[in-house]
Homo-oligomer: A and B are copies of this chain.
Amino acid sequence: MQIDRSPLARPFPHLPDIAGVTLRVVRAGYKTWDRCDLTFVELTQSTSVAGVFTKSACASSEVELGREAVKQGRARALIVNAGNSNAFTGWRGREAVDAIRAQVSTALGCREDEVFVSSTGVIGVPLPIDKARAGITAALAAQPCGWEDATNAIGTTDTFAKGAGASAMIGATRVQFAGIIKGSGMIAPDMATMLGYIFTDADVAPAFLQDALERANAATFSCITVDGDTSTSDTVMAFAAAKAGNLRIESWDSPGADAFAAALADVCRTLAQLVVRDGEGAQKFISIRVSGAVNDDSARRVGLSIANSPLVKTAIAGEDANWGRVVMAVGKAGEPADRDRLSIAFGGVWAARNGLPVEGYDEAPVAAHLKGEDIDIAVDLALGDGRATVWTCDLTHGYIAINADYRS
């Protein structure tokens, strides 16, 4: 099946070269396609690493080993296989990852736990070790490539290449960021991964990098949803190559720590929103701003309850200002809410205030807002100071076509 380019797509941005980071792509042939599907990122010896991974109880060997290996804080290589997630393949899947780590660590003269592996694609088929081995041999001899080529190589049924850049000042030193990402939840038939990677030339201690990544993740990747279906392989990693010459950031007290974290969060937010923009069948990009919750976590859960509701998502697809469905989704969230304090707005126009429809509510400006591409829903619970913004897309015939009509 040919999946059309998302109407919400964005052009691939100009991303800076990151000193200490070398990209290469080759065709390992994990599927019968004529494209590169193995990405090999070589990292300089001084590189710090951090990662956040799926909480799935059925995570892949790649995730299990990566989660363990980030604890030692150093990375020399990242290998991404596209077309096969190697998830739910038991000891045979584990053997494939071990083989890749052994081959790369020998070639680079590093420890095996400095080699990180991700795989994305069909679940339940062990990654073919012979194809992986030949691919890595080819990659070690290949010419370096640019960000867009690498982004295309990690993609599966993504309809556009998704990247984001940023820079920050640490003292008098400018540091650069480049991030790439693929997928959107379980974006395509039998595919099962959101994989995101952010590279920077900054000199940052691993523990700080991990903390900054976890904070950024909580407000960005943890606030997006396409279909509520969490994959077995979700991975976001940050690599800091320490080539910029900045005074090393050791903790939140180090000069430039906040600027670094802000730039990292910016890249994460842009990448997260791009994933939503490539959501299966998406026609509308929806921002849900929840305020007045008892705390920020509660606000996020209310937002996700709205964002995951098929009835809210189909209402937006139908350009229908159906705020009763938002009431329903708030009510079922399992979070503190008081029906008689609840207020709901579309595109800045309050449809309901304090548990009652607004008298003389004029639907015309709301209807005009809903015809647009970017939809804004605000919910005020009027209970406390908790707030969160959650991003999602609408639920359309395109989603059904991609996931039901197409046979894997």
Which residues from chain A sit less than 8 Å from chain B, CB to CB? 54-59, 87-90, 92, 122-125, 186, 189-190, 192, 227-232, 308-311, 314-315, 317-320, 322-325, 327-340, 342, 352, 354-357, 394-397, 399-401, 403-408
Contact = CB atoms under 8 A, between A and B. Distances in A.
A156 B292 CA distance: 35
How many copies of the shown chain assemble into the complex? 2
B331 A403 contact: no
Instruction: Give the residue among A54, A325, A340 with the most B Cβ atoms within 10 A.
Output: A325
Given A56-B332, A186-B311, A405 B229 contact: no
Contact of A404 (B54, B58, B229, B318): B318
Nearest to A338: B57
Contact of A230 (B320, B331, B356): B331
Nearest to A403: B314
A90 B88 CA distance: 50
A199 B330 CA distance: 33
20 contacts: A58-B331, A87-B324, A88-B355, A89-B357, A123-B325, A124-B327, A124-B352, A186-B311, A190-B324, A228-B309, A229-B325, A310-B310, A310-B395, A310-B403, A314-B399, A315-B408, A319-B407, A320-B404, A394-B404, A400-B400
Instruction: Give the residue among A92, A190, A228, A328 with the most B Cβ atoms within 10 A.
Output: A328
Contacts of A325: 123, 186, 229
B400 A397 contact: yes
A405 B339 contact: no
